[in-house]
Each structure stands twice: as C-alpha cells, then as structure tokens.
Amino acid sequence: MPIRCASRKRLMGAISGICAVLLLGVGNSWGGGAGPREIQLSLAGAPGGALYGVQGEFAWGINSSMTGRIAGFAWDYEEDSYSEEGAGVLIGAGIRFYTDDLMKGTYFGLNLDYVSAEADWYEYPSYGTVTVEGIVPGATLGHKFLPRNQNLSIEPHVYLAFLPGDIEAGVIIAAGVNVGMKF
C-alpha cells in the first residue's frame, strides 16, 4: 500500500533530518573524533536506467564510515511487446567497511534507502501505472582511489538493491562511479 502524501513528507523529513545530523558530524563523536569528511557526486547505470545524486561520507572509527545520500533515477525498458518508463527519488543512509584506514581502498557497504517511484507500462493491449514506495535495503562493493591530491577521490562501485513489494524486477544491479572532495 503506498504511503499517503502527508505521511510520505513526514517520513522523508525524518530521514533527511537523520542524514543531515550524521553528515554534519554529530555522529563523528561516536567514532572517536574528527576524521575525514567527503561530499560526492554519484552516477550509476543499470540496463535501461541511470541514477544521479549527491552523497556525504564521514569516517566513523578507523576502518568504517557513515554515508547519507539523496538521488534521482530514471529508466526506460523494452522487451518484445512490453515497455516501461519511470522515474523516482531516493534518500538514505549507510555504513561502509574499508580494508584500509580513514576511508581509503576497497570497501563493502550496507544501505537503507527510502524510494518513491512511478512507472507507466504498456503490454498490448493493456497499459497502466505502477507505484513503488518503501524501504530498499542494498549493498555496495567498491574501491576508493585517491590520486596525488589526497582531497579528491574516484570510486568505481557495484550496487545491489532489493526492491519492496511484489515487483517482477525485485533486484537491481548497477555499476557506477562517485567523484568526491574531502574537507
């Protein structure tokens, strides 16, 4: 059952507030002091679609970090007599575990995102609209490269998401890159 508009706004506001608190570094005290912070631009692609957004990250302990993000996505899918076109937004938070210290090297991450999307579909002779709303758990595997300038990062990654409800596409696998700046 889709979340009503007023409830959705309250939920999005609550998630946004949690992400803002984490990104502003209040949560940094849990990790034992001020560590690196980073803002990243994100771009990822899956068959027929793309995700674009902004993500913040801060060190949380020696080998881990917290992330918060907001993104938009769109897709256009066709197969035989079926076609689907849609778009949506997501907002969420996650944690990453690095092989090296202070947000460097290979990482594995776990995410929880709130997703709201709508798609129009057509399969001769039927057509309709489907709405997807809910919490989407996900996992990320990536590597953070720090070129000579230690303030700039480049992060290729693979993302796996499990969509809520009874959706045929249930799982999405995407590949992407984040480009970040530490402060």
Map out the domains of the chain as residue ranges.
5-73+91-113+140-163+170-182
Let me know: does 22 contact 38? Beta carbons within 8 Å: no
**pLDDT tens-place string over residues 97-154:** 999 887 889 999 999 999 998 989 899 899 999 888 889 999 999 999 988 777 899 9
Other CB atoms within 10 A of residue 68 CB: 24
Q: Which residue, 108, 173, 174, 178, is CA-closest to 145?
A: 178
pLDDT for 28 equals 46
What's the confidence (pLDDT) of residue 36?
81
Strands 37-46 and 82-98: unpaired
Residue 19: the pLDDT is: 53
Predicted local distance difference test score (pLDDT) of residue 27: 46
Q: Higher-confidence residue: 48 or 174?
A: 174
Containing 178, the helix (H) or strand (E) segment is strand 171-182
What is the tens place of the pLDDT at every residue in 11-46?
Answer: 555 555 555 555 555 444 444 446 788 999 999 998
Q: Identify the residue with better confidence: 170 or 25.
A: 170
Three-class DSSP category at 102:
coil
Tally of CA atoms within 13 A in the half-sphere of 12 that contains its CB? 15
Closest listed residue to residue 72, CA positions, set 85, 93, 54, 88: 88
4 pLDDT band, cuts 50/70/90, is very low
In terms of pLDDT, which residue wins out, 75 or 140? 140
Residue 122: the pLDDT is: 92
Q: CATH class for domain 5-73+91-113+140-163+170-182?
A: mainly beta
CA distances to 1, 69, 107, 122, 158 from 168, rounded to whole Å, are: 17, 26, 30, 15, 21
CA angle at 70 for the pair 58 and 49, rounded to the nearest 5°: 125
pLDDT of residue 133: 87
Under a CB-based contact definition with an 8 Å cutoff, are residues 176 and 157 in contact? yes
Q: Output the six-digit token pair for 141.
A: 């595997």
Residue 160 has pLDDT above 70, yes or no: yes
What are the helix (H) ranges across the chain? 5-23
pLDDT in tens, 54-64: 999 998 888 99
Is the pLDDT confidence value at 93 over 70? Answer: yes
